[in-house]
Structure 1
């Protein structure tokens, strides 16, 4: 996830043909310490890991309990291509 996190987030939403407003509603449940983590980096990681828009809810739930595992999984997926 080396690009600008905000730009990457919107690119991923567009590339996956997700509905931005629907995804943003799903992210209302996300609890992230924005002093510690970049919110768009976290959102990008979640969208990047999802295969379908309806998977975002479960990934958000996982991120709320173990954020580092989501960030690490996104990094590994990116490195493996």
Structure 2
């Protein structure tokens, strides 16, 4: 796996784009949520490279705009698509 330089994090725009693509693809396939670790593995990065220093409000708002929510399952963040049945 690739390591980004110390104190260098994945860009917000790329993170949002990849999360959206992966989550919607998984939803279309079987509807299950995607874990943060699966996203890191898909991007061939360490999970530390994807982490943000704190919960980024801009990222969360952008994800909510496309109806992607985050929930913790066994201590790991999972991204899932909020469909009409969930509302």
Higher strand share: 2
Find the structure with the greater CA-based Rg: 2
Q: Calculate the TM-score normalised by the size of structure 1.
A: 0.29
Higher helix share: 1
Q: Calculate the TM-score normalised by the size of structure 2.
A: 0.27
